[in-house]
Structure 1
Amino acid sequence: MNRVIHVPLHRVDIGQADSRTVDDMGERMVVIGGDATGMAAASQARRLRGSDELEIVVFEKGNHASYSACGIPYWVSGDVAAADDLIARSPAEHRERDIDLRLRTEVTEIDPAGRQVLSRDLGTGAQSWTSYDKLVLATGATPVRPPLPGIDAEGVYGVQTLDDGQEVIDGIAAATGRDAVVVGAGYIGVEMAEALVRRGFRVTMVTRGAEPMSTLDPDMGALVREAMVGMGIRVVTDTEVTGMRTGSGGRVQAVTTADEEYPADVVILGIGVRPATDLARRAGLPLGEEGGLLTDLAQRVRGYDDIWAGGDCVEVLDLVSGTLRHIALGTHANKHGQVIGSGVGGGYATFPGVVGTAVSKVCDLEVARTGLGEKDARRAGLQFHSVTIESTGRAGYFPGAEPMTVKMLAERRTGRLLGVQIVGRDGAAKRIDTAAVALTARMTVEQVISLDLGYAPPFSPVWDPVLVAARAAARAVARGH
Structure 2
Amino acid sequence: MGKRMVVVGGVAGGASAAAKAKRENPELEVVVYEKSGWVSYGACGLPYVLSGEIPRLERLVARTPEEFRKQGVLVHTRHEVVDVDYELRTLTVHDHAEGRTFQDRFDHLVLATGARPSLPPIPGTEQEGVYTLRTMEDGERLLKALPQARRAAILGAGYIGLEAAEAFRKRGLQVTLLEAKDRPLPHWDPEVGALLKEELERHGVEVWTGVKVEAFRGMGRVEAVETSEGVVPADLVLLATGIRPNTELAQAMGVALGPTGAIATDERMRTNLEGVYAAGDVAESFHRVLKRPYWLPLGDVANKHGRTAGSVIAGREARFLGVVGTAIFKAFDLAVATTGLSLEGALKEGFWAKKVFIQSRDGAHYYPGSGPLWVELVYEEGTGRLLGGAVVARGHGALRIDVLAALLHREGSVEDLLALDLAYAPPFSPVWDPLLIAAQQAR
Contact 1:342 1:348 in 2 (8 A): yes
Matched letter for residue 460 of structure 1: S
Q: 2:206 aligns with which of 231, 234, 258?
A: 234
Matched letter for residue 114 of structure 1: L
User: Aligned with 1:346: secondary structure?
Assistant: coil
**Does residue 383 of structure 2 align to residue 398 of structure 1?**
no
Q: CA deviation at 1:242?
A: 1.6
User: Aligned with 2:435: secondary structure?
Assistant: helix
Alpha-carbon separation, structure 2, partners of 1:399 and 1:207: 37
Alpha-carbon separation, structure 2, partners of 1:375 and 1:106: 41
Contact 1:360 1:429 in 2 (8 A): no
User: 1:245 corresponds to which residue?
Assistant: 217
Deviations 1:2-28 (A, max 9, x none): xxxxxxxxxxxxxxxxxxxxxxx2111
Contact 1:310 1:333 in 2 (8 A): yes
User: Aligned with 1:109: secondary structure?
Assistant: strand
Q: Which has the larger radius of gyration?
A: 1
Alpha-carbon separation, structure 2, partners of 1:242 and 1:278: 29
User: 2:109 corresponds to which residue?
Assistant: 135
User: 1:462 corresponds to which residue?
Assistant: 431
Deviations 1:392-430 (A, max 9, x none): 000111111211111111111111011011122143321
Q: 2:79 aligns with which of 94, 102, 105?
A: 105
Per the normalisation by structure 2, the TM-score is 0.98
Q: 1:255 aligns with which of 225, 233, 255?
A: 225
- 5 Å-filtered alignment, 1:133-212, equals 133-175=107-149, 178-212=150-184
**Does residue 358 of structure 2 align to residue 389 of structure 1?**
yes
Alpha-carbon separation, structure 1, partners of 2:403 and 2:95: 47
- 5 Å-filtered alignment, 1:71-470, equals 71-175=45-149, 178-247=150-219, 250-301=220-271, 303-470=272-439
Contact 2:285 2:294 in 1 (8 A): yes
User: Aligned with 2:237: secondary structure?
Assistant: strand
User: Aligned with 1:253: secondary structure?
Assistant: strand
Q: CA deviation at 1:243?
A: 2.1
Q: CA deviation at 1:58?
A: 0.5
Deviations 1:159-187 (A, max 9, x none): 11111101111011243xx1100000110
Deviations 1:258-288 (A, max 9, x none): 3411111111111111111121122221112
Q: CA deviation at 1:123?
A: 2.1
Contact 1:108 1:279 in 2 (8 A): yes
Q: CA deviation at 1:442?
A: 1.0
Matched letter for residue 225 of structure 2: V
Alpha-carbon separation, structure 2, partners of 1:386 and 1:444: 13
Alpha-carbon separation, structure 2, partners of 1:259 and 1:45: 53
Q: CA deviation at 1:63?
A: 0.8
Please, what is the CA RMSD of the aligned residues? 1.1
Q: CA deviation at 1:323?
A: 2.3
- 5 Å-filtered alignment, 1:47-86, equals 47-50=23-26, 53-86=27-60
Alpha-carbon separation, structure 2, partners of 1:358 and 1:28: 36
User: 1:22 corresponds to which residue?
Assistant: none
User: 2:13 corresponds to which residue?
Assistant: 37
Runs of 4+ with >2 A deviation: none
Deviations 1:213-271 (A, max 9, x none): 12321221111011001110000001121221122xx1111111134111111111111
Matched letter for residue 149 of structure 1: P
User: Aligned with 2:396: secondary structure?
Assistant: coil
Q: CA deviation at 1:364?
A: 0.9
User: Aligned with 1:229: secondary structure?
Assistant: helix
Deviations 1:63-116 (A, max 9, x none): 111100000000000010101111011111001112110100111112222222
Identity of aligned residues (%): 44
Deviations 1:122-167 (A, max 9, x none): 1232111211100001111111112221112111111111111011
Contact 2:269 2:305 in 1 (8 A): yes
Deviations 1:350-389 (A, max 9, x none): 0010011110111111101001012221232111111111
User: Aligned with 2:309: secondary structure?
Assistant: helix
Per the normalisation by structure 1, the TM-score is 0.90
Unaligned runs of 5+ in 2: none
Alpha-carbon separation, structure 2, partners of 1:319 and 1:293: 18
Contact 1:387 1:473 in 2 (8 A): yes
Alpha-carbon separation, structure 2, partners of 1:246 and 1:100: 45
Alpha-carbon separation, structure 2, partners of 1:225 and 1:471: 28
Q: Tell me which moved more, 380-389 or 213-222.
A: 213-222
Alpha-carbon separation, structure 2, partners of 1:68 and 1:32: 18
Deviations 1:287-346 (A, max 9, x none): 123210000000001x21200001111111110111221111111111111101101111
Alpha-carbon separation, structure 2, partners of 1:379 and 1:280: 31
Unaligned runs of 5+ in 1: 1-24, 475-481
Matched letter for residue 459 of structure 1: F
